Amino acid sequence: MRSYTLHLPPEARPGEVDGLDRAVLVPDGFSRPAFAFSVLWFLYHRLWIAALIVLAGLVLLAFGGFALGLARWAGTLMTLLASVLIGLEASSLRRWTLARKGWVARDVIVARDAAEAEAKALARWLDPSNASLPPRAPFPGGPARRAEPVIGLFPAREGLR
C-alpha cells in the first residue's frame, strides 16, 4: 500500500467536477523515475526551478570530484548517493511547488496503485455529504487561533502594563 496526496487548484470546491479535471495525485515515498532520470523527471513534471537546481548540483558534483582528483569509483558513489537523495525528495519538491502555486493538499489516499488512488479520490470528492464541508485549515485551530500567554517564563509585572 502506498499513500498519495490529492492536490487541487484553489478554486476547486467539494462535489464539483471542474476541480478534478486539473487535480494532481502525488505519490509518497521513493521515486524510481526521479532516481533514474533526475533532471528529465523534473522537466517532465514542469518543475523548472528544481530541474535547474538539480542540474547545477550534479554538474558541480562532477566538476568538484574531478578537481579534487577523486578516483572514478568515488565519483560514481557520490553521483549514486546524489541520485538516491533526489529519488527520496522528488515527491516533496513536487508538493512544495504545487503549494507555492496555491494548490491545496485536500486529501490523503492510501491505495495499492495510482488507478485505485484516483478512483478513491473521485469517490470522496464527488460524495454529496462532503459538499457542505469547508476546506480545513492545515493545522488544528487554524490561523485565527490566538496565542495563549506563557505563564512562569516571563511573569508580567504590575507596573509595566
Which residue type sits at 123? A
- Of all residues in the chain, what percent carry a pLDDT higher than 70? 78
pLDDT at 35 over 90: yes
Dist CA 49 CA 17 (whole Å): 31
Q: Which pLDDT band, with edges at 50, 70 and 90, does 94 fall under?
A: very high
Predicted local distance difference test score (pLDDT) of residue 132:
47
Mean pLDDT of the chain: 81
Dist CA 62 CA 68 (whole Å): 10
Q: How many CA atoms lie within 13 A of 60 on its CB side?
A: 7
Q: Which pLDDT band, with edges at 50, 70 and 90, does 155 fall under?
A: low
Q: Which pLDDT band, with edges at 50, 70 and 90, does 130 fall under?
A: low
- Calculate Rg over the CA atoms of the chain: 22
- Of all residues in the chain, what percent carry a pLDDT higher than 90? 33
Q: What letter does residue 155 receive in the DSSP assignment?
A: P
pLDDT at 44 over 80: yes
Burial 24-47 (b: 16+ CB within 10 A, else e): bbbbeeebeebbeebbebbbebeb
- Is the separation of the CB atoms in 11 and 19 below 8 Å? yes
Dist CA 94 CA 152 (whole Å): 43
